[in-house]
Amino acid sequence: MLMSGATLLKETGPREVFCGLTSIVWLHRRMPDAFFLVVGSRTCAHLIQSAAGVMIFAEPRFGTAILEERDLAGLADAHEELDRVVKNLLRRRPEIRTLFLVGSCPSEVIKIDLSRAAERLNAELKGQVTVLNYSGSGIETTFTQGEDGALKALVPLMPSSEEEKLLLVGTLANAVEDRLITIFKRLGIKNIESFPPRKSTELPSIGCNTKVLLTQPYLTNTARELKDRGAEVIKAPFPLGVEGSRLWIKAAAKSFGIQDSLVSSTLEPLISRARKALKPYVEKLSGKKLFLLPESQLEIPLARFLHMECGMELIEIGTPYLNRDMMSPELELIPDKTRIVEGQHVEKQLDRVREQQPDLVVCGMGLANPLEAEGISTKWSIEMVFSPIHGIDQASDLAELFSRPLHRQNVLTQKQLSQI
Ligand code: SF4
């Protein structure tokens, strides 16, 4: 049992989630001067091309160095092959300032020490490009953990400073981030920076007067590294929904000694507008049964929003990992006896879904089709990382994402009934 009274269970077994390579899709949009070179197989190339291909308008800012058994067998050293690919890339794309070597899971790739490769290339290419590495392997990561790995790799490059600042950590849509920064400025916080920055070379400085406010719940390792650099990590629920965002802003304001009354008067107009916009969705979602399968680590904050503000009934919350300390402000808001399952045994979870017959299941793309075929409405969890859902203003858009599949199901049922 957790402090909150929710029931925590652990489950291991077959998993059905995207790997950490997926996060390249939003990271390369965030830092257009960075390049993500996946050291992987053709499967990895397919994954990231099909996940990201539709969003690339200019020349892609990621690529794949395909190293397969066949290639390696004839090579004296896989490092030589990697160096060749990197140098070719930099000749073609001299504007690249930060190059991430992203590891994957084929056994041939696991044998390559990418941190040594990054070190060697850094020494050779000093002044031209910074080379970093992290793993996006499906064995080690789920899709949002790719961002955690990339940010963790950047932390050692952040300069030190003692200046007091608020550091927003985690990738957000630029427009959403701008709106949140405007709110903090109105509250009197002047020095606000973001990590990752919009330019990979403009890393914010960090030190004992940096107050870190996480925008995403999947940045456990990054938060730990930032703490090790002296920063204070502010404990708060995550900025999803009106309440989560209000408490998130309030926690940051408190750590800067800003009075609650100023926070309330600043947020009040936004909150009443957002509640009004939320109302039609609450009518659709209220009383509906929700089951969240583990994938993005956003499941607990989403469940809290959908229950607290939209009246949904929580059947089960699955999460791939649970950082109890980071998640404690969220867990306190989850109703007693809610089942929270960390990890995954996909078959057992699907059995429970079938048994409980929820109105809506939040799950990975691979599970959505079979469930839909059984007449169970689904929502892809991956949509949450591609949609601007953070902040008070976005609460109704977030609720809309969940009411859409229920509406579609309604229309289908009515059509079927009319044909009888
Ligand atoms: Fe590549 Fe492994 Fe991801 Fe498959 S799961 S795409 S092999 S990193």
Residue 58: band (very low, low, confident or very high) from pLDDT cuts 50, 70, 90: very low
Residue 44: band (very low, low, confident or very high) from pLDDT cuts 50, 70, 90: confident
* Mutation pick for ligand 1 pocket among 48, 137, 140, 141 (CB with most ligand atoms within 8 Å): 137
pTM, whole model, 2 decimals? 0.92
Query: 20: CA distance to ligand 1 center in Å?
Result: 8
**For residue 65, pLDDT beyond 90:** no
The residue whose CA has the least distance to atom 1 of ligand 1 is 44
Residue 62: band (very low, low, confident or very high) from pLDDT cuts 50, 70, 90: low
Encode pLDDT of 379-399 as tens digits: 999 889 889 999 999 999 999
Query: 344: CA distance to ligand 1 center in Å?
Result: 18
* Per-chain mean pLDDT for the chain: 90
Query: Which of 3-17, 75-89, 154-168, 381-395 ranks highest by mean pLDDT?
Result: 154-168
Kindly give the number of the ligand 1 atom that is closest to the alpha carbon of 40. 1
Q: What is the DSSP string of 163-213?
A: --EEEEES---HHHHHHHHHHHHHTT---EEEES-SSTT-PPPB-TTEEEE
Summarize the confidence of residues 3-11 as an average pLDDT: 81
Query: 137: CA distance to ligand 1 center in Å?
Result: 6
* Range scoring the smallest mean pLDDT among 13-17, 48-52, 265-269: 48-52
* Mutation pick for ligand 1 pocket among 15, 38, 44 (CB with most ligand atoms within 8 Å): 44
Query: 295: CA distance to ligand 1 center in Å?
Result: 15
The per-type count for the chain, helices as H runs and strands as E runs, is: 17, 14
* Mutation pick for ligand 1 pocket among 16, 21, 145 (CB with most ligand atoms within 8 Å): 21
Residue 293 confidence (pLDDT): 96
Encode pLDDT of 319-371 as tens digits: 999 999 999 999 999 999 999 999 989 999 999 999 999 999 999 888 999 99
Kindly give the number of the ligand 1 atom that is closest to the alpha carbon of 105. 2
Residue 139 confidence (pLDDT): 87
Summarize the confidence of residues 175-181 as an average pLDDT: 97
Summarize the confidence of residues 27-50 as an average pLDDT: 85
**For residue 74, pLDDT beyond 60:** no
Question: Which protein residues are within 6 Å of ligand 1, measured from CB?
Answer: 19, 21, 40-41, 43-44, 47, 104-106, 136-138
Report how far apart, in Å, the C-alpha atoms of 156 and of each of 172, 214, 296, 367 are: 22, 18, 26, 38
Residue 51 confidence (pLDDT): 67
Query: 167: CA distance to ligand 1 center in Å?
Result: 32
Kindly give the number of the ligand 1 atom that is closest to the alpha carbon of 46. 6
Instruction: Specify the DSSP class assigned to residue 38.
Output: E
Residue 52 confidence (pLDDT): 59
Residue 80 confidence (pLDDT): 82
Phi, psi angles (nearest 5°) of residue 133 = -140, 155
Greater pLDDT, 271 or 72: 271
Q: Write a three-state SS string for 353-377.
A: HHHHCCCEEEECHHHHHHHHHCCCC
